[in-house]
Amino acid sequence: MTRPTDRGTNGPDGPLASPASVPTARQGARPPRLPGLLAALCDRLPADRITVLEEVLEKVTGPEDLLLRRFIGAQSAAGLAHQLTEISRTWRSEAPGMTGAGLALALATVRSVPRAGPAQVVVTGPMGTSIPARMTSGVVEEVIRSADTSLLIASFAAHGARHVVTEIGRAVDRGVHVDLLLEESTQASAAFATLPDDVHVWHRVGTSGVLHAKLIVADRHTALLGSANLTDRALSDNIEVGVVLRDPHLVEPLVDHFRWLLSPENNVMRLA
């Protein structure tokens, strides 16, 4: 009887591969970075901005295409050109044979997958070119537009900010329930005098402290928290910082807390 050896054996269709020749998964191989970079871009930009990028990608042949370079160079948002450049470099190194249309499809796929977004930095004032942050004024309006059923807005002071008032009015027109929590001592409610009567304005009960919170919450899915009041200077000139939360697990407890504050039996807030 012939004993099997380490060199393999013969089968009905020819020599059988020895165990040593069977391909195995590489140990310690780095996972591709491109999917994560695309997901980070979708988390940062609103859907309409991503759609514009997809339209550009449909027209380019690859990561070296001059049209793509020009598009990246035209981006003025802080850190966005750097972010797109990194995507282009990773595209070139990890998937050089992929066309722009292929990357556009991948981006559209990532965009369509529902997921909790990471926290995002929001600022007002001077900004370095490599900081991945967005301007407060644009994010305020974006969060208000994202509301389908309810808006919860708190501000210590309010003045001007006509674009914000306009967006709140549009939200009311589409059936969104709006609660404004405002500090009475700053006469903040005057900034919203043109809004419909069904907008609920709340002031704090008593004089033991002030309402100093600044936040905008859309439904129970998105919240903007930060230092900026709803004033023209806070939205354009001051040095302000904030964060956008798009994780319902974080936003819902925040909403529940403020709804508790508004409950009449707790005697914390009263309708103006």
Query: Is 193 found in the same domain as 99?
Result: no
Query: Is 140 found in the same domain as 80?
Result: no
**CA-angle at 145, arms to 139 and 148, nearest 5°:** 135
- Output the pLDDT for position 50: 92
Smallest CA-to-CA distance from 140 within 40, 227, 260 is with 227
- Output the pLDDT for position 42: 87
Q: Which of 94, 112, 130 is the last residue of a domain?
A: 112
Q: What is the pLDDT of residues 179-223, one digit of tens each?
A: 999 999 999 999 999 999 999 999 999 878 999 999 999 999 999
- Output the pLDDT for position 20: 38
The crossing angle, in degrees rounded to 10, of helices 100-112 and 47-57 is 160
What range defines the domain where residue 255 resides? 119-271
Query: Is 205 found in the same domain as 175?
Result: yes
**What is the CATH classification number for the domain harbouring 170?**
3.30.870.10
Smallest CA-to-CA distance from 216 within 242, 194, 236 is with 242
**How far apart (Å, rounded) are the C-alpha atoms in residues 45 and 142?**
11
Query: Is 92 found in the same domain as 49?
Result: yes
Which residues, other chains included, contact 5 with Cβ-Cβ below 8 Å and sequence gap of 6+?
none
Query: Is 227 found in the same domain as 132?
Result: yes
Query: Is 177 found in the same domain as 91?
Result: no
Smallest CA-to-CA distance from 234 within 152, 113, 109, 137 is with 137
As a residue count, the chain comes to 272
- Output the pLDDT for position 11: 46
Query: Is 123 found in the same domain as 72?
Result: no
Mark the ranges of the chain whose per-residue pLDDT is less than 70: 1-29, 114-117, 129-131
Query: Is 44 found in the same domain as 170?
Result: no
- Output the pLDDT for position 23: 37
